[in-house]
Amino acid sequence: MLTELKQIVSGSCLLNEPMSRHTTYGIGGPADAYVIPKDTDDLRTVLSYARRMNIPTVFLGSGSNILVSDLGIRGIVISLKKEFSELVFDKNHVSVGAGVMLGKLVKEAAKHRLTGCENLIGIPGTVGGAIFMNAGAYGQEISVHLTSLDIMNENGSVNTFSSESIKFEYRHTSLSPESIILRAEFQFPAGDIETIQKNMKETGLKRKSSQPLNFRSSGSVFKNPDDVAAGYLIDKAGLKGTRSGNALISEKHANFFVNTGNANAKDIINLIHIARTSVKNKFDIDLELEITLLGFNSEIISA
Ligand SMILES: Cc1cc2nc3c(=O)[nH]c(=O)nc-3n(C[C@H](O)[C@H](O)[C@H](O)COP(=O)(O)OP(=O)(O)OC[C@H]3O[C@@H](n4cnc5c(N)ncnc54)[C@H](O)[C@@H]3O)c2cc1C
């Protein structure tokens, strides 16, 4: 059935594609189809095909905040990375496609002497994924200088929304999973180039010293509860170094569960259950996932 999709898509369309190739974890079974549409019309074609054939769709950026099940994803995975790559500066105003890597936006903004996003350097992923997650680090969040978003809905129509009309919270937005971000506009304040460069350098050093960047991961597994770091709670529960198969709760940062080589999703899920149960028993705190689980049945997700 999906072979027809391959014929009608102008961009790339891979059938039965292992998601381990498209996640920073390097974990995940095959998606029925993995599509990178070439442009807005191509994306519309994919969505209309999926609707006509009653096939579910899932949107991805570069898969840096995702854990995909070992059984993969039934349906069409659509990623905007590599395409949707517009990046235009006009004084303080920036228009950027959702497929642009966040690091590129940050570096280009610095070159244009604009401040407000330099501390986001080192967060992997696309601008679309960062906005959907309201990514942030070291006191900055992507939504702060965002002014508007172009969003396509499941019927293929595109609307522009002001950032005030969308609720941005810690690692969460009010956007529905059916909304696909195509383009964003930002208005960054002018800054001092030396301070911007210093901030970027310091951020890079902080990341290197506190995060296990030599292993594949999805960054922080859990959101930080109100006034305490999830990593602190997992550490104090005595879980650093806990293993399940080839997955490990990092000794360097207890909220990073890393793939030490050929780990599978089941290993990470085991560690998630261990951490949640131990932290609940010791501190009576419920840890909420920051990463998105794809392709799992709802019992695993809520268990
Ligand atoms: C080493 C490491 C360090 C990290 N450090 C940080 C950090 O400091 N701060 C932080 O906030 N995060 C961090 N992360 C997590 C992750 O990089 C961010 O959440 C990132 O913004 C996700 O972008 P992505 O393109 O990879 O999105 P994905 O992981 O592909 O997707 C994330 C979510 O966004 C949705 N999405 C993606 N693109 C679109 C789109 N165009 N339209 C609509 N929905 C979309 C997906 O459906 C999914 O729900 C880290 C990850 C790693 C591996």
Residues 195 and 235 in one domain: no
**Structure-derived torsion over alpha carbons of residues 293, 297, 302, 303, reported in degrees to the nearest 10:** -110
For ligand 1, what atom is nearest to the CA of residue 80? 41
> Which residue(s) pair with 184 in the sheet?
96, 149
Torsional sign, CA 24, 76, 269, 27: negative
**Residue finishing a domain among 170, 187, 209:** 209
- CA-CA distance, 29 to 19, in Å (whole number)? 6
Give the total number of structural domains in the chain.
3
Ligand 1 site, residue 72, Cβ cutoff 6 A: no
- CA-CA distance, 16 to 72, in Å (whole number)? 9
- CA-CA distance, 257 to 25, in Å (whole number)? 10
Ligand 1 site, residue 26, Cβ cutoff 6 A: no
129-173 pLDDT, tens digit each: 999 999 999 999 999 999 999 999 999 999 999 999 999 999 999
Q: Is 169 a catalytic residue?
A: no
Half-sphere exposure of 182 (CA within 13 A, CB side): 19
168-169 and 172-173 strand pairing: antiparallel
CATH number of the CATH domain containing 223: 3.90.78.10
Question: Residue 210 is encoded by which pair of tokens?
Answer: 């506190």
Residues 205 and 216 in one domain: no
Please state the pTM of the whole predicted model. Answer: 0.96
Top-confidence residue, 101 or 1: 101
Q: Is 171 a catalytic residue?
A: yes
Residues 278 and 189 in one domain: no
pLDDT at 302 over 60: no
For ligand 1, what atom is nearest to the CA of residue 120? 8
Which protein residue's CA is at the shortest distance from atom 10 of ligand 1? 135
CA of 243 to the centre of ligand 1 (A): 25
**Residue finishing a domain among 158, 190, 209:** 209
Residues 202 and 105 in one domain: yes
- Residue 9 lies in domain: 3-79
- CA-CA distance, 127 to 277, in Å (whole number)? 34
pLDDT at 24 over 70: yes
Residues 205 and 92 in one domain: yes
Residues 60 and 111 in one domain: no
Residues 104 and 173 in one domain: yes
**Residue finishing a domain among 209, 242, 267:** 209
Residues 149 and 232 in one domain: no
Residues 233 and 155 in one domain: no
